[in-house]
Structure 1
Amino acid sequence: MAVISDYALLGDCQGAALVSSDGSVDWWCPPRFDAPSVFARLLGSCGGFWSIRPLGPYTTSRHYLEGTMVLRTEFHTESGVLRLTDALSLGVGERGHRIGYTSPHVLLRQVEVVAGAVDVAVEIAARPEYGLVSPTVAETPVGIEISGGADRLILAADRDLAVDGSLVTGRFTLAAGDSAVFALHHRRAADPPSVTIDGRAALRETVAAWQSWDNIHQDYQGAYRQEVRRSALVLQALTYQPTGAVIAAPTTSLPEEVGGTANWDYRFGWLRDGSFTLKALWVAACPDEAHRFFNWMAASMGSVDAEDHVPIMFGAGGERDLTEHTLEHLEGYQGSRPVRIGNDAWQQKQLDVLGEILECAWVLRDELADLSPAAAGLLRSLADRAADAWREPDAGIWEGREGERHYLTSKLLCWVALDRAIKLARTMDAQAHVPRWSQAMEQLCAAILTEGWSASGRTFTGAFGSDHLDAGVLAMATVGFLPADDDRVLATVDAIRRELEVGQDGLLQRWTGSGLEGAFIICSYVLVEALALAGQVDEAKRIFECVTAQANDLGLLSEEIDHRDGSLIGNFPQALSHIGLINAAWIIDQAESGTKP
């Protein structure tokens, strides 16, 4: 099985697939990101796959077609060159700034020989419901039908394929100029039969739709433009278009430590990452996506009373109950068990989410002049919750399951909630709340500066009454709590680098005492922002380039980097890592131009 960095992402803005450099689709969850897989060899040998490759030895190279999430892989053999083009169909006629609404849920694969002649092998082992189902396979007038559980797949192909039990196989030879196309249609068993599409036409339309979106949106001209451009495409691919939710990652249970148990399902949208996400969409010139993401957050929350627990995450459609269970039949990526479906972090209390949402409103303040009474009431209630709850312990931004503490990052984001609410008071029709919010903010500020500061260590710590450091505290300057060149902020940056940096390239673990845990990519990009804001632009650029160079050959980043061997680990590709890249690039650009972000 391939390693994490060997995979490419395919997306149709409703679901995702991962394909390895040797032409094997080892993960696909149609019709939406968190649906049960039909291919899941990524997590276990019984999970299913779809392989297209040359017979005999070969070497490969690959790239995305310009301005798209359409993958092109070239296999170089002794007899010729085979070109494989892979995509999830966006639907015929989808162009412009909104793509993915009418995805037909079709996996497209086209092979063509560009030089010589190549013997091609095709093998399809669909295993619906995370490999629990061994389907029946039969030839029909419209193609090969694969049926099992709640899933139905129809394979349309212009080459003869054979049915062998639950497998579909094929062997054929293509000469220069020859091609073959395959279209694997997915539907639920209860859905009416769908009309098979023309695979070649659908592939052309998908390329055109991606490029149309790219041409409309990609007008960012700042530092590291190509890296920002690719990350913006990744975020678009991870956006569930029917609602506007941005999914944290298209995978589940790719481990934070290979062989360990920190294997979580990330196929949901996190409010906790909301302001980071919205800012990145704005920087990457995706204003419609930014608004729709904010609206998804607000709609998913509904109404919130001052005492309510505010959820930190939702399903792509706004679902709240994401109860976790394990899949015992899958051995996990490189033996990393358990494999989890769902995420019990949905039940955690994380006070930072209050600041995240109000920060989103602050970023969109010029667009919120006509805020609805319901939206204004929601924002007021979140600020009221911050004023009352900042003294409470919570689970913190890293979602530890060892109990609640007084995390500094949570206090900091409660301060953000109050600060932004006061600034937005007129928009929110909340002038009467300002005296109470101001008093709470002053008390909270004093608590952070006293209880969060270690005089002996000369640093802000990860939690009140603790000597441990937390890389999340680096956001202190980014959110405007203290100036980036404040002596206490600079001392904290130095302490975090001294204690949490692994190597010399700005790779940071999340907290002290984390042992063999990998370096979290988002932490490095927040460090870049802190350095750039403090005027240390050259060092910020050096670290940005070192961290970004850890991406795979397609520019994709996971959640973490194994600091022992430099491999990508954690769910992949990780939206928050690409969000961090975009925001850090923009801060560097602003710092170089002398503009205050």
Structure 2
Amino acid sequence: MPETAIADHGLVGDLHTAALVTTDGSIDWFCCPRFDSPSVFGALLDDARGGHFRVRPVDTEYRTKQVYYPDSAVLITRFFTDDGVGEVVDFMPPEGSDATDRHRIVRMVRCVRGRMSFEIVVAPRFDYGRRQHRTYLTDNGAVFETDALTLTLHSVREPDDERLAQAQVENGDLIAFLDLTAGQLRGVVLESAAAGPPREIRVAEFQHLFDETVAFWRSWLARSTYRGRWRESVERSAITLKLMTYAPTGGLVAAPTTGLPEQIGGERNWDYRYTWVRDASFSVYALLGLGFVDEAARFGSWLGDRIRERAGGGVGPLNIMYRVDGSSELREEVLTHWAGYRGSRPVRIGNDAAEQLQLDIYGEALDSIFVAHQAGIGVPHRGWQAIREVLDWLAEHWDQPEEGIWETRGGRQPFTFGRLMSWVALDRGIRLATSSGRPGALERWARERDRIYDQVMERGWHPARGAFVQHYDTDVLDSALLLMPKVRFIAPRDPMWLSTLKEMDSELVTDSLVYRYDPEASPDGLRGSEGTFSLCTFTYVDALARAGRREDARRTFEKMLTYGNHLGLFSEEIALTGEQIGNFPQAFTHLALINAAITLDAALDA
């Protein structure tokens, strides 16, 4: 049986980890106790060997629909049969800001109309299916145990109910059944690091967990200041970004998944369960744009810690990515025993790109710190000392080949985007120092900033193409440069920029969707092709709006929204068929959606 389509999932989480739930009620991706921990359920990457936690009607034909409970991260999967209507309500009660091994997946099972029999199957495969487990069945649930991790399943019932009906263990998996009539609510809670054995949970306690979780999300979302045209999409994106933020540190994972392909059957399958300096820095724009100052400050603290540590072992003061706790060990390995999503191999965990030199990260980091400073989030003395060291290093090292924003594995090049963002880093450092009276090598920083500007204008510009290009030794276009007007390197209506935008229109844009670049024209060291990048499409909307092409921008934005899934979630890319591919959901895509909506709203209002 093939793996469920990437888009046919919803996301639930507790701000420490997250789970993906299919449209037919199966949890087929869940890592515990953190986003970057080994998986417990991994059927998303191997339906036969990955493991799952399934709740769905028994032996009958059914139709399904999936929706979020309004203004929350509580997911409802509804089943429609000839005998009745039922639903599974999934959520994870939010955990606090302290790291913990305790996490709960709550699965409320309800018969809405008529009657319905549900099958519950809990089939864990610990440590990516590499570790055997022991299963113990009790009157109140079950225990799934390994030497490293134990999961406890609690049953929800009232005093007159039987124990978990017809429960049995087959090859370490639990199989049980629930027969419900209209109005009945039962279910199960799967808990890691439980304080005791399985216990009975009464329906009232069950309902209380639901009410508390909904209240948490509504209280958080109420802080949003966005009142623009696309409120539903923007707020869903905000909740999704929050779900992918590790509460103990404020680190934002690029996606909660690994190994989902950029081309079905291809090798571009990466682990995104880490915090990229680039992605998380761009999130500051989105968070502050929506009024979430506390979240922006939390990430600023995380970034400050990384700058002060100087990322031992890296190729510069910062690594391009870290684990959610801030550590930097991300050794890449291949899960040879897994088939991969629809045969897409290799399945990788870890990410060797962490050791690459990508100069653009310094621009994104400094820009986010400067934007936060403008919003009243100050930089402490020790933080400024570390920033000075970063800027001094960059002033000396910016003019060298690098791997670039897209983490190519085809050798280092003098990427224009890396130079652009090095200019941003030095420019924002100067502005930060002068606006707050901080000491620094301002003359040197300004001298190098101006050298970068002149170099990009002379060598990054290709006169024959009439466009800024990917790197100095090519005529290939790169949609990363769509950020040039946003970071104020060039005026959004400068003739050189309008010409670049026109060239991108003709080469990188297809039905409003945008490719990163042409890998055939600019080999990146990997076989195969890829889809359009949703991040780039939303950045294109931003660039169009700034260039005064408001109608083009609005049409592109509205078209792009149609490529989201039934819940408004986006993966990394869109295939030629319109199918979502790549890791899911992707933070970069959702924060770009928010930023594009804010920019476009302002342009249309004007």
TM-score bucket of the superposed structures, by smaller chain = over 0.9
Query: Shift of residue 126 of structure 1?
Result: 1.0
Q: Which residue of 2 aligns with 1:555?
A: 568
Question: 1:410-453 CA distances to partner (integer Å, 9 max, x unpaired)?
Answer: 00000001111111113565555111111111111110001001
Q: Distance in 1 between matches of 2:87 and 2:70?
A: 16
Aligned residue type for 1:376: W
1:388-407 equivalence runs, <5 A: 388-407=396-415
Which residue of 1 is the match for residue 154 of structure 2?
156
Aligned match of 2:43: 41
> Match for residue 95 of structure 1?
none
Q: 1:372-521 alignment to 2 at 5 Å?
A: 372-426=380-434, 430-502=438-510, 504-511=511-518, 513=520, 516-521=529-534
Name the residue aligned to 2:356. Answer: 348
Deviations 1:248-295 (A, max 9, x none): 000000011110111100001010224311101111221100010111
Which of 89, 94, 101 is 1:85 aligned to?
Answer: 89
Alignment pair present for 1:330 and 2:338: yes
Q: Distance in 1 between matches of 2:488 and 2:516?
A: 23
CA contact (8 A) 2:297 2:377 kept: no
Separation (CA, whole Å) in 2 of partners of 1:2 and 1:63: 17
Residue number among 102, 116, 125 corresponding to 1:118 in the alignment? 116
Within 2, Cα distance between the matches of 1:173 and 1:520? 45
Judge conservation of contact 1:312–1:348 (CA < 8 Å) in 2: yes
Assess, with a 3 A threshold, how the Cα gap between structure 1 residues 117 and 99 changes in structure 2: closer, same or farther. Answer: farther
Query: Is the aligned partner of 1:139 residue 2:137?
Result: yes
In structure 2, stretches of 5+ residues that fail to align are 158-163, 522-527
SS at match of 1:337: coil
Match of 2:580 in 1: 568
Partners of 1:71 and 1:307 in 2: CA distance: 42
RMSD value, Cα:
2.1
Partner of 1:94: none
One-letter amino acid of the counterpart of residue 225, structure 2 = D
In the TM superposition, what is the alpha-carbon distance from 1:303 to its structure 2 partner? 4.2
Equivalent residue letter for 1:52: V
SS at match of 1:365: helix
Q: Which residue is 2:554 aligned to?
A: 541
Q: Which runs of 5+ in 1 are unaligned?
A: 92-97
Alpha-carbon offset, residue 101 of structure 1: 7.0
- When residues 245 and 220 of structure 1 are mapped into structure 2, their CA distance, relative to the original with a 3 A threshold, is same
Question: Which of 171, 193, 212 matches 1:205?
Answer: 212
- 1:220 alignment partner in structure 2: 226
Of 535, 540, 544, the residue aligned with 1:522 is 535
Give TM-score scaled by structure 2 length: 0.92
Structure 1 residues 169 and 530 mapped into 2: Cα distance closer, same or farther (>3 Å)?
Answer: same
- Judged with a 3 Å threshold, the aligned counterparts in structure 2 of structure 1 residues 107 and 74 are, in CA distance, closer, same or farther, namely same
Q: Secondary structure at the match of 1:119?
A: strand
CA-to-aligned-CA distance 1:553-581 (integer Å, 9 cap, x gap): 00000000002x10000000000000000
Percent identity for Structure 1 against Structure 2: 37
Are residues 1:276 and 2:282 paired? yes
Task: Indicate conservation of the 8 Å contact 2:315/2:357, yes or no.
Answer: no
Q: 1:22 aligns with which of 21, 24, 28?
A: 24
The 1:116/1:340 distance shift into structure 2, 3 A limit, reads same
Q: Say which is worse superposed, 506-515 or 474-483, in terms of deviation.
A: 506-515
Spell out the pairing of 1:276-295 with structure 2 (5 A cutoff): 276-295=282-301
Asked if 2 retains the 8 angstrom alpha-carbon contact of 1:69 and 1:233, the reply is yes
Q: Deviations over 1:7-56 (max 9, x none)?
A: 11111100010010011110111211011111001111211001111120
TM superposition shift of 1:535: 0.9
CA contact (8 A) 1:156 1:184 kept: yes
Q: Which residue of 2 aligns with 1:593?
A: 605
The runs of 4+ residues in structure 1 deviating greater than 4 Å are: 98-103, 191-198, 367-370, 427-432
**C-alpha contact 1:256 1:263 (8 A) present in aligned 2:** yes
Q: Deviations over 1:125-178 (max 9, x none)?
A: 111111123321112465311112411011011333222231111123211111
User: Normalising to structure 1: TM-score of the pair?
Assistant: 0.94
Residue type matched to 1:552 in 2? N
Partner SS, residue 433 of structure 2? coil
Given the superposition, is the C-alpha separation of residues 428 and 259 from structure 1 closer, same or farther in structure 2, using an over 3 Å criterion? Answer: farther
On the 8 A contact 1:510/1:520 being kept in 2, the answer is no
> SS of the residue aligned with 1:398?
coil
